[in-house]
Amino acid sequence: MDATGTPASQSFIQQEARHGARNYAPVPVVVDHAKDCLVWDVEGREYIDMMSAYSSVSHGHLHPRIVAAAHRQLEKVAVMSRAYYGTTLGPLLEKLSEVTGFERALPMNTGAEAVETAIKCARRWGHRIKGIPDGMQKILVARGNFHGRTSTIVGFSSEVEYRAGFGPFCDGFQHFDFGDMASVKAAATEHTCAVLIEPIQGEAGVIVPPAGFFQELREWCTRNDILLIDDEVQAGLGRTGKWFAFEHEGIRPDALILGKALGAGLLPVSAFCADERVMQVFVPNSHGSTFGGNALAAAVALEGLKVLQEEGLVEHCAEKGAYLFQRLREVQAQVAPLIRDVRGRGLWIGVDIEPSCTTARDLVERLAANGVLSKETHDTVIRFAPPLTITFDLMDRAVDIFHRVAREKHQELGLGTRAGSANGVKATV
Q: Is 231 assigned a catalytic role? A: yes
Catalytic residue from among 36, 41, 231, 352? 231
CA distance 270 to 236: 11
Catalytic residue from among 36, 95, 138, 146? 146
Q: Is 146 assigned a catalytic role? A: yes
Catalytic residue from among 95, 260, 320, 409? 260
Q: Which residues are catalytic?
A: 146, 231, 260
